[in-house]
Amino acid sequence: MTEDFSTPYHTVIIGAGASGLMCAGSFNARKLIIDHNPRPGAKLAVSGGGKCNFSNLNITAAHYTSQNKHFCKNALAAYKNTDFLKLLDENCVPWQQLPSGQLFAQNAQDIVRLLVRRAQQANTYFKLNTQALGIKKDGQGLFIVQTSRGNIKAQNLVLACGGLSFPALGAGPFGVQAARAMGLNIIEPSPALAGFTFPRALKQHTAPLAGNSLPVQIRCGKFTYTGPLLFTHEGISGPAVLQTSLFWHEGEQVTVNFLPGTDALAFLREHKNAAKHFSALLAEKISPKIAKALLAEADVPAANATTAHLHLAAQRLNAFVFVPEGISGWTKAEVTRGGVDTKEINPSTMQCRRIPGLFITGELLDVTGMLGGYNLQWAWSSGRAAAKALEQIF
């Protein structure tokens, strides 16, 4: 039977990503999902290298950043990681747990298929290859979604458009633009969970290290994280850097300990009579190539080292300080930081306080999780919260 798109829907959801699909499948009402991609779950299907890091065993509000650090608590408590695991188990979708606590599917497509099937069973229609162009209200208070394939009316509207990261998969500014056009306050979006770019002089110095990696401890403000760092042609990346980028603000300095667990000054003093250069002495702890680049003029034979040499070398190894030029752009960012101000939204329902019937979920909100499955858990939890509120509206 052909769907009648001219009849107003109970709910229209813009965005067939994680939070939109979760919302659609979590309540039974005649609804429509609009997405500009030819297939639903485009970003989900390639996430986690095709295995979809869908959540984490350890989920707390502390794993998220927002101008309101408490906002995410209600939704996360109402729909937990264990609830999503139960959904997978009930539908025989295999998954695995890493020692880090990260939870992965064996195949991301399994999750996409489950969410689409679940949405269809809950009376959801899909209108794909369709670009949302604008939103307004008619005289009866219905939302009118203007699209590339005509106007669609609905009693309720869910903006589940995602952020600006991964433009190659169709990410774009529509959600932010639409929310701003409706008068909602926006925390200016910026790329997050991306590498740091170095100032020109430092970039030229470290560019030969591109492709080399090592474990480090990295600190920015009150945030400290230990994990792998990868040198790139533009600066540094890798899990430790991506995590730190979420908490970094422009102009703020970052400190890297390239020898976590080792007191570099004490170690160098112990070998102060050696004929070898510092970089050679450190060969068992750090690649000599990396050590030479970091130490630069401080890489001298230990026997010839002055007190100034010792302290400079130790500082560059244990407390390498720099101010990033910026964060790698949208094409490399895992997620978007910022978005719709959470002051505009009820934290239990995801409904807009000033516009009844308007719900906003997932990455479009100013709630951004760390690397490791936290952002998809937020998508599940916020999408579910909106659905539980929508099923009460008739």
Q: Hey, what domains does the chain have and what are their CATH numbers?
A: 9-190+336-390 (3.50.50.60), 196-327 (2.40.30.10)
Residue in 268, 204, 198 with CA at minimum distance from that of residue 229: 198
Tokens 């978005």, located at residue: 339
CB neighbours of 64 closer than 8 A, spacing ≥ 6? Answer: 72, 367, 368, 369, 370, 374, 378
Structure tokens at 280: 């050679």
Q: How far apart are CA 354 and CA 184, in angstroms?
A: 9
DSSP per residue, 277-329:
BHHHHTTTTS-HHHHHHHHGGG--BGGG--HHHHHHHHHHHH-EEE--SEE--
Structure tokens at 145: 């979604």
Rounded (10°) angle between helices 108-121 and 81-90: 80
- pLDDT at residue 186, as a whole number: 97
CB neighbours of 233 closer than 8 A, spacing ≥ 6? Answer: 203, 207, 210
C-alpha 117: how far from chain center:
26
- pLDDT at residue 2, as a whole number: 59
Q: How far apart are CA 26 and CA 361, in angstroms?
A: 14
Q: Beta partners for 159? A: 14, 360
Query: What is the pTM assigned to this prediction?
Result: 0.92
CB neighbours of 237 closer than 8 A, spacing ≥ 6? Answer: 194, 195, 196, 229, 230, 328, 332
End-to-end CA distance of the chain: 24
Q: How far apart are CA 305 and CA 309, in angstroms?
A: 6
> Tell me, what amino acid is at 345?
I
- pLDDT at residue 1, as a whole number: 46
Rounded (10°) angle between helices 108-121 and 42-50: 150
One digit per residue, the tens of pLDDT, for the chain of length 394 reads 456 767 999 999 999 999 999 999 999 999 999 999 999 998 888 888 889 999 999 999 999 999 999 999 999 999 999 999 999 999 999 999 999 999 999 999 999 999 999 999 999 999 999 999 999 999 888 999 999 999 999 999 999 998 887 777 677 889 999 999 999 999 999 988 999 999 999 998 899 999 999 999 999 999 999 999 999 999 999 999 999 999 999 999 999 999 999 999 999 999 988 899 999 999 999 999 999 999 999 999 999 999 999 999 999 999 999 999 999 888 888 899 999 999 999 999 999 999 999 999 999 999 999 999 999 999 999 999 999 999 999 8
Question: What length does the chain have?
Answer: 394
> Tell me, what amino acid is at 122?
A
Mapped onto helix, strand or coil, the DSSP state of residue 219 is: strand
